[in-house]
Amino acid sequence: MAGQEVQERPLIIAHRGFSAIAPENTLVAQRMAAELGVDLIECDVHRTKDGQIVVMHDATVDRTTDGSGALAEMTLAELKALDAGSWKGPKYAGERVPTLAESLELIGERARLIIEIKAEGIADEVLRVVEECEALDRVVIFSFDYETVCRARELRPELPCLWLTGGAQDPSAAAAAALVEKVERGRLTGISPSYAGATDELLRQCREKGLWLWTWTLDEPEQMKEAIARRVGAIGTNWPDRLRKVLGLS
């Protein structure tokens, strides 16, 4: 995957799949994003009670299924019995919580899968699934937890790993330098700040150091245009069709 300094356009990241339309982090949302022609599809992962890596954003199942309770206290079979689609609309009734392996199989070579590791201490198991699926060349690792993303990079130095963060707290060179230093200390590929935290100084320093800077989550065309003009490396969005249109790809 090319670094942002040689890209002609920012990469398109479908945030939790085509989540504006379909139930987030389900196979249908991922399939819709892949068929749209995005570069990357982002998903979130947790570990079940019986040690399976599954795709869901929250630590509980309450918001996006018809169940309740902590995901980590449920077995895969218990999760698979839940309806993960009806909350988004009746036509998605019966959608299930996918495993990471199922998502990798569905997406195949059509896009790269960004795996955001939500729970601490599961980086080893997540990478084991990726290896078993022979998908090391098709994934990128994200995490807000610095130690987790550094652990992934340690285990697989060839794997693109980006630290998720709110970004720089102010526009100063010092604020940007503190983040860049931490990224370099962890030997990470880059950083993924919120758009508000993707300051001009942070962009400049990342570009100077050859680090990737991918930002999130932009849904309005005017903001997308601004990010494109600022030459960010990738843009996460719930509306990947809008971003394709802004980029002149559809």
- pLDDT, residue 7, reads 78
Of 6 and 120, the structure prediction assigns the larger pLDDT to: 120
- pLDDT, residue 1, reads 59
Distance CA(111)–CA(131), nearest Å, equals 17
Annotated catalytic residue, options 1, 7, 49, 57: 57
- CB-based burial of residue 107 (10 Å sphere; 0-12 exposed, 13-18 middle, 19+ buried)? buried
Place of tokens 């559809």: 250
Residue-wise pLDDT for 19-58, tens only, equals 999 999 999 999 999 999 999 999 999 999 999 999 999 9
**Global pTM exceeds 0.75:** yes
Average pLDDT of the chain?
97
Average pLDDT over residues 174-179: 98
* Tokens describing residue 143: 């995490």
Asked if the model's pLDDT at residue 4 lies above 60, the reply is no
Average pLDDT over residues 167-189: 97
Distance CA(139)–CA(40), nearest Å, equals 9
- pLDDT, residue 250, reads 86
Please say whether the beta carbons of 188 and 179 come within 8 A: no
Annotated catalytic residue, options 4, 11, 15, 104: 15
- pLDDT, residue 222, reads 98
Q: How confident is the model at residue 5 (pLDDT cuts 50, 70, 90)?
A: very low
Q: State the pairing for strand pair 53-55/40-47.
A: antiparallel
Q: Where are the domains of the chain?
A: 4-246
Residue-wise pLDDT for 192-229, tens only, equals 999 999 999 999 999 999 999 999 999 999 999 999 99
| R_g of the chain, CA atoms, integer Å | 18
Distance CA(221)–CA(186), nearest Å, equals 34
Question: Is 46 labeled as catalytic in the residue annotation?
Answer: no
Domain 4-246, CATH: 3.20.20.190
Residue-wise pLDDT for 122-173, tens only, equals 999 999 999 999 999 999 999 999 999 999 999 999 999 999 999 999 999 9
Question: Is 57 labeled as catalytic in the residue annotation?
Answer: yes
Please say whether the beta carbons of 60 and 69 come within 8 A: yes
Query: Coil, strand or helix: which one is 15?
Result: strand
H/E stretch holding 224 reads: helix 221-229
